Amino acid sequence: MPELPEVETVVRTLEHQIQGREIEDVAVRTPMILECDPDQFRITLIGQHFRTFERRGKYLLLYMDSVLFLSHLRMEGKYYLQAPEEPLDRHIHVIFQLDDGRQLRYRDTRKFGRMNLLPMDTDILTFHGLGPEPFWDSFNADYIREYCKGRKEPVKSLLLDQRFVAGIGNIYADEICFACGIRPGRSCARMTKKDRENLVTETRRILTRAIAAGGTTIRSYTSSLGVTGRFQLECMVHEQKVCKVCGNEIRMKWIGGRSSYYCPHCQH
């Protein structure tokens, strides 16, 4: 389940591996992965080079010569670089033949991921209604106070709302709440000034550490290109049984349709 740190890791790994490579051919085996016409997708991408690599929220932005190739991994999407002779399986949905003989393969067991082609000048600041990146100056305590005016939703739901802040998913939302000592179900209207300041600081601290660790590996998830995240060793509450700080039992509650883990002793 790639969140911001995993997507960042994938973008940087792809940049290292395929920057400057040309797409010679595209095979779309599962059209539903695309949000555009498969033939148009193929024809547009053939002959294009991978130029620059960026991330916005959980979206991968691959700037080609004259088109922006957008990819969202959703839950289980992964990219692999493989030789053409390596066997395909039924979960590989899109194959890009590169000019160095390798193939960039998109694999996604649940077919949740999506790809699209957009104009080069697409405004990625406002795109898909995404809120600020956690590391932008505009994500600050005052912004949170303003955003929360008239809202009562749980802090956990707020963190998962991509219009509030871009890139946080279920795992990191739990971890951020724990780091702030806030129960995930607490109304965002009941955050103090100190809570809002902590939310900014802890969000950045946790995401920075996770990026440094190469993202999270949880359940069967391994990030693309053979890179295995190591952040799961650092999870304090998500899918944990016992609190690493106080030793109390970690509880799980359903919040906003998501499983949410918290320590009833450390979080209020």
Active site residues: 2-3, 58, 258
Q: Which of 16, 51, 145, 151 binds DNA (CB under 7 A)?
A: 151
User: Please, which of residues 218-247 interact with DNA by CB under 7 A?
Assistant: 220
Identify whether the C-beta of residue 217 lies closer than 8 Å to the C-beta of residue 11.
no
Residue 64 or 171 having the CB closest to DNA: 171
Least Å distance, CB 85 to DNA, is 23
Q: Which two tokens stand for residue 196?
A: 């809002």
How many residues line the site for DNA (CB under 7 A)? 34
Indicate which single residue of 14, 28, 44, 58 sits in contact with DNA (rule: CB under 7 A).
Answer: 58
Q: Quick one: which segment of 46-54, 168-176, 225-233, 241-249 binds DNA (CB under 7 A)?
A: 168-176
Position among 29, 42, 49, 91 found at the interface with DNA (CB under 7 A): 91
Element (DSSP H or E) covering residue 79: strand 78-82
Stretch that binds DNA, among 46-54, 149-157, 196-204, 240-248 (CB under 7 A): 149-157
What is the number of other CB atoms lying within 10 angstroms of the CB of residue 259? 12
Report if residue 111 touches DNA, rule: CB under 7 A: yes
Q: Could you say whether residue 45 binds DNA (CB under 7 A)?
A: no
Q: Which is nearer to DNA, 154 or 229 (CB)?
A: 154
Matching residue, tokens 């010569």: 65
Give the Cβ contact number of residue 17 at 10 Å: 16
Which is closer to DNA, CB of 126 or CB of 220? 220
Which residues from 176-205 bind DNA, rule CB under 7 A? none
Candidates 264, 239, 235, 252; CA nearest to 176 is: 235
DSSP H stretches of helix in 20-61 = 38-45
| Interface with DNA, residue 6, by CB under 7 A | no
Give CA torsion, residues 48, 54, 60, 65, to 10 deg.
Answer: -10
- Beta carbons within 8 Å of 54's beta carbon, 6+ residues apart: 11, 60, 61, 63, 124
44 binds DNA (CB under 7 A): no
